[in-house]
A and B are shown apart, each in its own frame.
Chain A
């Protein structure tokens, strides 16, 4: 038996091929405070089943994700799986507390079933649920689910965010800011914590051979369709040198040299970014085990991100910058509050090409104010960059813009927009010809033209299948299920 104060479990279902960072951070933080902790990635354990028992894996994954079984009798398979997981945990660990990490609402079903099974067997272990996924209906959503579990005495506590601080205080005093409520306080110092501890993970089993890293929380922009700033009120960032130190340390410790930033944007603070790429460039020059990294980026023109910054970006291993470009029309980007011009874009893409830094574009087809002319400008943009296409690793066109009730987007347009029975079906009265059918049409044209130009369009077939399906719902005047926050394609998730 492994004795510990805290066991941190990663609950399925999460579509990732890298170990999640939060449990590893929490382990490091509580150990720093004198508690003994272990982590166990149950999501990875379920994923491994796909190789040997594909049907059972799919059944479990579908049930944990959507709570749905086509054949009700198969609930016995689910119950047996939960019972086995519970037995394995309780037979392996002698722990005072178990924290269940609920990354999205799609981990709720599993977390609840496991928590109930543990509670039924052992009433002494403290059970804590934590993570963004404990809420329903998006960021800063409702906490009904966890309140219910707490009232039923299935769990002892829940933590929405900033678990590094709240969990430690819970273990020490059973009370803390942000414990059992929304009133958590954003941490402004991200530099002083320990590095994530992956010692319990079998890292060689993960397909991606990369580690996650966080350089900042929040965003410097307030894009009209994004609600990240309703969660992270402030943009806070680590020093570039600290990020570099963590990368070097973790790469040496775990023999993994590729990092994925979890940030909304890596280059939010240009000072920190410069320090980071300078330090990693120097490190890479002195070693054969060169570090590389990728993640989300914002477009900056040469006035903000200089040619020297680009050289260091490449030398530091920057490759695979994901850009939320959204539209080729500067007017639409201004409507979205993206805050970069066509000139910024042109300079950015040219520099990426010159320095051989690969790019991914995320696009939004059918923003409410998008006219035919704006759409043509998006096509023109791709034509303009066709000469650079070798650096494009992915163009994500999505399934046309969806608008969820309660989001900033719905709020912005509320006086002139009808959601029309579904997140994808909205009508904006000031641009009434841009109905769902027209948006699909534009999406088809953009997909076809990008493919003709030789761009690698991501999930083209899946997106079309989903649009086809949604259109059949739309035609029948059926309701698109707003419940679902993740339908960019049939296999993957989207955080609306």
Chain B
């Protein structure tokens, strides 16, 4: 199975350390010191389901690795934003918000894909069939998501100027 990650890195003070591992072991471990999008791909034949994929951020000092301005606004950071994780032909984007990020302190942050603390973002593949699992996630997402806006959707389908259609029948 091909496993892919798209990570957006903020590299203040050298960039975060990122580890990616699963039940059987580590797939990736390095400090990413360049800013911006990083695409990481693994080709593995022994990613056996059920499994757990973990993206861990380390190497952040909370005292020194976040740059603040005089008003205490964050102007730069050492952090990692996970924009996509893929397993074969299944690509998780919005679905990633369903999983938990656990800080090293033990605190669990939900509905979050921005790793601004040292900790672990965990995707539980609690299934022996990835498509059934993904289907369940899709269902869960659509059942629970609240951001659906019919007017916006209609604009997307009709185009901005055509939502007030006129039709004779």
A: which residues have CB within 8 A of B?
62, 65-72, 75, 376-377, 379-380, 383, 437, 440-441, 444-445, 449, 461, 464-469, 471-473, 476, 478-479, 481-484, 487, 490-491
Contact = CB atoms under 8 A, between A and B. Distances in A.
Nearest to B91: A478
Given A68-B140, A70-B140, A483 B135 contact: yes
B20 to A, nearest CB: 18
Given A444-B154, A469-B142, A72 B124 contact: yes
Given A383-B169, A490-B143, 18 more contacts: A66-B132, A67-B129, A67-B133, A68-B127, A69-B124, A70-B98, A70-B140, A379-B169, A437-B157, A449-B167, A469-B142, A478-B90, A481-B131, A482-B131, A483-B132, A483-B135, A484-B135, A490-B139
Contact of B126 (A72, A473, A476): A72
B59 interface: no
Contacts of A473: 138
Contact of A481 (B135, B153, B156): B135
Given A67-B127, A72-B126, A481-B135, A379 B141 contact: no
Interface in B122-169: 124, 126-127, 129, 131-143, 145, 148, 150, 153-154, 156-158, 165, 167-169
Contacts of B66: none
Contacts of A465: 142, 145, 148
Nearest to A476: B91
Contacts of A70: 98-99, 124, 137, 140
20 contacts: A62-B140, A68-B132, A70-B98, A70-B137, A71-B124, A72-B126, A376-B169, A383-B169, A445-B165, A445-B167, A461-B150, A469-B142, A471-B153, A478-B89, A478-B91, A479-B90, A481-B131, A481-B138, A483-B131, A484-B135
B52 interface: yes
Contacts of B140: 62, 68, 70
Given A71-B124, A75-B126, A478-B91, A464 B148 contact: yes
Contacts of A383: 169
A444 B157 contact: yes
Interface residues of B, number: 39
Contact of B157 (A379, A440, A481, A487): A440
B93 interface: yes
Nearest to B141: A469
A380 B168 CA distance: 9
Interface majority SS (helix, strand, loop, mixed), chain A: helix
Given A376-B169, A464-B153, A468-B153, A66 B143 contact: no
Contacts of A472: 94
A479 B138 CA distance: 12
A440 B158 CA distance: 10
Contacts, number: 97
A67 B132 contact: yes
A7 B131 CA distance: 34
Interface of B: 50, 52, 89-91, 93-94, 98-100, 124, 126-127, 129, 131-143, 145, 148, 150, 153-154, 156-158, 165, 167-169
A478 B86 CA distance: 11
Contacts of A441: 157-158
Contacts of B135: 66, 68, 481, 483-484
Contacts of A468: 148, 153
A71 B133 CA distance: 12
A491 B140 CA distance: 10
A444 B157 CA distance: 9
A491 B127 CA distance: 22
A330 to B, nearest CB: 15
Nearest to A483: B131
The 6 closest A-B pairs by CB, nearest first: A68-B136, A66-B136, A72-B124, A379-B169, A72-B126, A481-B135
A68 B148 CA distance: 23
Nearest to A461: B150
A70 B144 CA distance: 13
Contacts of A487: 139
Contacts of A380: 169
A483 B100 CA distance: 26
A72 B49 CA distance: 13
B132 A491 contact: no
A68 B157 contact: no
Contacts of B139: 62, 66, 487, 490
Interface centre among B89, B94, B99, B153 (most CB of A within 10 A): B153
A479 to B, nearest CB: 5
A478 B52 CA distance: 22
Contacts of B158: 441, 444
Nearest to A466: B142
